[in-house]
Structure 1
Amino acid sequence: MLACSFLITLGSFAVLPYVSVLLHQRLGLGLGTVGAVLAVASLVQFSGGVVGAALARRIGLRATMLVALAVRTAGFAAFVPGLGSPAVAVGALFLVSCGAALYLPANKAYLVEGAKESERPKLLSASGSAFNAGIALGPPAAAPFVLTSPGVLFAGVAVLFAAVGLGHALLPPVTGPAVDPAAEGTSRTGREHTGRGHTGRGHTGREALPFVVTVLSVYVFMFFQHYLALYAVPRTSASFYGAVLMGYACLLVVAQPPLSEWIAGLAYRTAIRLGFGAMAAGMALIAAGGHPGIGAGAVLLCLGEIVLFLKNDLEALARSSAPPATVFGRQRLAAGIGAFASGVAGGQLYGVAEDMDLVPGFWLAVSLQSLVLPVLLMRVARRRGLSRETPDGRL
């Protein structure tokens, strides 16, 4: 599973970062159209996780992954004729996005299905490292072929995904019993829900808190993901920007597994403060500009991502009696909402900052949001009685 996770992102990121180049330079679509296509495709990829979770409950985790990989294989194969047709290329992109939406909740659920709660941090962090290793190596591996032999590149990625699908066919099916998400009283770990926080509105609210924190986490993080290139390349160089992205992915691969148990042991309130604090400091350093500021800011944002993204998944699992695939589908939906909101708000905010020749102020504004938004969220949680910590450090 971990090897396939690496190959999946290796193949995906050999292609997807260059789709904007394909659509704009080769097929002649306007930048506004390209931006709209990519925004909708991203929303489908994230929010469609709910559909992937529902499919997993109906046909099983392994079968869902096989369907998803078949869809993605067809999508990458369709890019080959899409090199001469904008409509086919856009359709291929949406096939790839739909396949990712179906695959990721089932993938994470398969890893943690039947595992002890104490084993989940290591499993999820190892999976994240495998995915990020592929993200780091995919773009440079594909760079020599993007402009000279794109058809060979797309065909090769389609063959890679077909091989990964065959590998998934060899996986043993999950034999654990399914649990009705509407079931009351007992979680998947067999613990009884007791106290006000686990019944009625409190139970729903406690499950909702990791969802909302995930929305805010991805909302803040995607400013960095979407707009660093516009800011960094003119002030440094394209090669430095590429080095920052590769270093970022490599740091995730190396740092996440050894930090997983520490993150799992953090009180949720502490993890929220640490994660958003690191993101706020990172955005402020990026505002300073230059190689040191951008490089150090990326390191701090990487720390914030490691803490928040893993902790939110672990909390969502611990608070819900639903099957893991359903939980991860909801988390993907939360990520989609955050990414979409960030794209809409960020474009307007960056445009205003650029028009006023105050682009560093854009990053300072994002840094301020990173500090203010979680504080407001925790105040709302306290008023609704959802922020009382249990003995194991959960809110």
Structure 2
Amino acid sequence: MAFYPKIYPKRNWVMIIPDKYKSQGYFSRVTKERTIRKNKEYQYRAIFSIWDGQKWNTQSNTKGLTTKDLADEWLEAKVKELTEKGKDIMLNPETVKGFTEAHYKPFLRDHKKIQYEQEFQKLDVICEFFEDKLIDEVTKLDVLAFKTWVLKRPYKRGKGEKKRSDASANRYLSRLRGLLNFAEEVGKRRSHISFKNIIAKEDPKQSYISFDEFMRVLDACYEVPKCNRWKRDRSHLRLTLIGGYTTGLRIDELRHVVRGMVKTDHSRRIGVIKLVMKDSRNKIHTKTVDVSTWLYDEMEAAGVFERADDEKVFDTTNYYNLVKDLFRRAGVSDDVTFHTLRAANATERDTAGQDRESIHAGLGWAKDSNVPEKHYLRHQDHHVIEKGSPYNERLQRLRQHHSERTPE
């Protein structure tokens, strides 16, 4: 007769926590586990449970808890952590990378007020540094360490590497600040980090390109570089350069301009560009700038008015290297970039007497913003003299009248 052993089902022990602890939100207890024969001491288990509204979420620890006092200390630390962080963070801790991918990037993508592709690159750098660190545990010391790390990290621009400036690091710090503030808003962080003394103050740039220098750049467009095997000049950039100089539009804005956005008065040879950008780096998605007679003439010469409404107006292909080469050939200062044309435009308009409100609108800044005055109005000596000429003329008239009334 065959013998079949009796099989007993395995039991899973479940701790039953009294309902009276639900109002408190947590339950803690210390139990004596077993005897450690070598040292003849007891092993203690600290049990900590959090009530999430539907069930208890339990975690326990025995490591190093050889006395009841040590177990009590572990539980006290857990209770303190729960008080400081809250149950949402305790039950669902998220890493910087996980929170960024799951929540912050979708938020930026749906927000549609920035060019989120560029911001995603900054976020990838942030995630590379913080990796699996919990977003609630990021401290000010971590932020300072990130700043040091970013400043030591060179970046590629054109064909070479450049040392990262404070202004460049500030962009990454600003995005990190946005990430941490967003985590705080949605309840994934309890503590707030002030970036007041972390983001360095930027000194306004002083680089400038005069009208004569700009004309030399335009002349350089017709030179054929010796190293150019195709024997082609840079004349296709002439319209783009004049567009940047006379309108103050950024290179990414010029890239979006199509023929249908250009509205002209052919009899007066002037007009406007009604720019529409779906994803702009600032909050202004539409912008209207004037087309000067000079720009009108260049558009006419380039055949812009014969193009279809959806055709591009300005050629921005490989603009960075080509424009840099043109500036070098024209003998312009090394710190002058295409963006300097934007500052030159604002400065010349202010010198010509254009009101600040319309200058702000052309640059894409709010009426009460001080950014244009701080970063874009770069008055040179001749601008100061020209702006002061009405006062100088008035003084001369007053002196003349005074001398005529005064007897000899």
Return the index of the structure with the highest Cα Rg. 2
TM over 0.5: no
TM interval, short-chain normalised: under 0.3
Whichever structure has more helix as a proportion of its residues is 1
Q: TM-score, normalised by structure 2?
A: 0.21
